């Protein structure tokens, strides 16, 4: 039942010899309500005292909408370090202090670790991996997860900009069906959070002994922007604080920055990003990644290009 399934779904599986009727127990509901209320009452007052003016305005607006049962959705935008996670914790503390249900999800597994009882959106809402514009979530009426969603008071979805729009559309389509409500997200209060920065490369033709100025006229910037390669970063790269990334070249091997090194982004700026190394010889180290030039030698082009 923990993943929304029952032994009745598997006809060949033996049933436990026990007097408890497990089929009538919704473990997801139990999990959503199994917390220390006194602890969350204490957290609630502590968080409320530490809210900034801007955070408090958002906090009170979301709770007011939730209590009015009008249904709505919000998008909380902010750079890394502006207190979005603190706001999620404050909202969770308030709702759980009243013995109500809040679902905290994120678009990546790493980000879920920062959320109270966090799970990935794909896991929590059974979003298909190969999602299309007509997809729906794999949730059926009367299931444990459907009942949990029906009784949920607030849904927080962090890093929402990092998933395909079809994922959000599938969730919206499914929750409308579950709630029998044509309002957006079935009348539930849903809060999206996130901040993403899109970087665009500067592409040019390298000046070599074998190239001529006419190459600049033949191969314009728009064409260069479309070139893709196995060892070449895309012209358009969208990143967000918290997402995992991987280096595509050696930068500083002595400090663990090699081709294939995984990192988690902690800061985004115009000309550099900062991240924490996740593997290799220096796990846990915080490092800076600067702009650099990439030269795709394997692209079978009649010229040598440079992507910065």
pLDDT in tens, the chain (308 residues): 455 566 777 778 787 665 444 444 577 777 777 788 899 999 999 999 999 999 999 999 999 999 888 888 899 987 666 788 899 999 999 999 999 999 999 887 777 888 888 899 999 999 998 999 999 999 999 888 999 999 999 999 988 877 888 999 999 999 999 999 999 999 999 999 877 778 898 888 877 655 555 666 677 888 888 888 766 778 888 887 777 888 888 888 888 888 889 998 888 888 889 999 998 888 889 999 988 888 766 567 777 788 88
Q: How far apart are CA 241 and CA 266, in angstroms?
A: 5
Q: Is there a single domain that holds both residue 31 and residue 129?
A: yes
Q: Is there a single domain that holds both residue 118 and residue 213?
A: no
Q: Is there a single domain that holds both residue 104 and residue 204?
A: no
Q: Which residue among 135, 168, 194 closes a domain?
A: 194
Asked if residue 127 belongs to a domain, the reply is yes
What is the reported pLDDT for 23?
45
Q: Is there a single domain that holds both residue 98 and residue 229?
A: no
Asked if residue 8 belongs to a domain, the reply is no
Q: Is there a single domain that holds both residue 119 and residue 53?
A: yes
Asked if residue 61 belongs to a domain, the reply is yes
Q: Which residue among 164, 194, 224 closes a domain?
A: 194
Overall number of domains in the chain:
2
Asked if residue 74 belongs to a domain, the reply is yes
Q: What SS3 string covers the chain?
A: CCCCCCHHHCCCCCCCCCCCCHHHCCHHHHHHHCCCHHHHHHHHHHHHHHCCHHHHHHHHHHHHHHHHCCCEEEEEECCCCCCHHHHHHHHHHHHHHCCCEEEEEECCHHHHCCCCCCEEHHHHHCCCCCCCCCCCCCCCCCCHHHHHHHCEEEEEEECHHHCCHHHHHHHHHHHHHHHCCCCHHHHCEEEEEECEEEEECCEEECCCCCCCCHHHHHCCHHHHHCCCECCECCCEEEEECCCEEECCCCCEHHHCECCCCEEEEEEECCCEEEEEECCCCCCCCEEEEECCCECCCCCCCCCCEEEC
Q: Is there a single domain that holds both residue 147 and residue 72?
A: yes
Q: Is there a single domain that holds both residue 285 and residue 185?
A: no
Burial (CB count <10 Å: 0-12, 13-18, 19+), residue 154: buried
Asked if residue 267 belongs to a domain, the reply is yes
Q: Is there a single domain that holds both residue 53 and residue 136?
A: yes
Asked if residue 294 belongs to a domain, the reply is yes
Q: Is there a single domain that holds both residue 163 and residue 210?
A: no
What is the reported pLDDT for 19?
47
What is the reported pLDDT for 44?
94
- Structural domain for 286, as ranges: 198-307
The answer to whether residues 292 and 273 touch, using CB atoms and an 8 Å cutoff, is no
Q: Is there a single domain that holds both residue 62 and residue 171?
A: yes
Q: Is there a single domain that holds both residue 173 and residue 301?
A: no
CATH code of the domain covering residue 143 = 3.40.50
What is the reported pLDDT for 168?
93
Q: Which residue among 153, 172, 194 closes a domain?
A: 194
Q: Is there a single domain that holds both residue 189 and residue 225?
A: no
């Amino acid at each position: 039942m923990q993943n929304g399934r029952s032994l009745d779904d598997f006809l060949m599986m033996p049933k436990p010899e026990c007097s408890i009727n497990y089929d009538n127990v919704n473990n997801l509901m139990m999990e959503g309500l199994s917390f220390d209320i006194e602890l969350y009452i204490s957290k609630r007052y502590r968080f409320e005292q530490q809210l900034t003016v801007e955070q408090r305005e958002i906090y009170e607006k979301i709770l007011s909408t939730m209590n009015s049962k009008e249904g709505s959705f919000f998008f909380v935008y902010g750079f890394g370090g502006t207190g979005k996670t603190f706001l999620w914790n404050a909202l969770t503390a308030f709702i759980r202090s009243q013995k109500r249900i809040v679902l905290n999800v994120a678009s990546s597994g790493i980000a879920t670790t920062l959320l109270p009882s966090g799970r990935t959106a794909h896991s929590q809402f059974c979003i298909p991996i190969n999602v299309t514009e007509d997809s729906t979530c794999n949730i059926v009426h009367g299931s444990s997860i459907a009942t949990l969603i029906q009784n949920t008071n607030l849904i927080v979805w962090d890093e929402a900009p990092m998933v395909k729009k079809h994922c959000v559309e599938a969730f919206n389509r499914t929750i409308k069906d579950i709630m029998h409500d044509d309002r957006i997200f079935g009348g539930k209060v849903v809060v999206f959070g996130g901040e993403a920065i899109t970087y665009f490369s500067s592409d040019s033709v390298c000046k070599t002994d074998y190239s001529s100025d006419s190459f600049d006229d033949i191969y314009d910037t728009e064409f260069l922007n479309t070139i893709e390669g196995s060892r070449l970063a895309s012209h358009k790269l969208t990143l967000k604080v918290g997402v995992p990334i991987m280096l595509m070249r050696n930068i500083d091997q002595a400090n663990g920055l090699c081709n294939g090194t995984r990192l988690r982004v902690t800061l985004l700026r115009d000309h550099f990003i900062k991240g924490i190394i996740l593997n290799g010889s220096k796990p846990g180290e915080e490092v800076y990644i600067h702009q650099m030039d990439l030269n795709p030698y394997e692209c079978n082009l009649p010229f040598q290009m440079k992507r910065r």
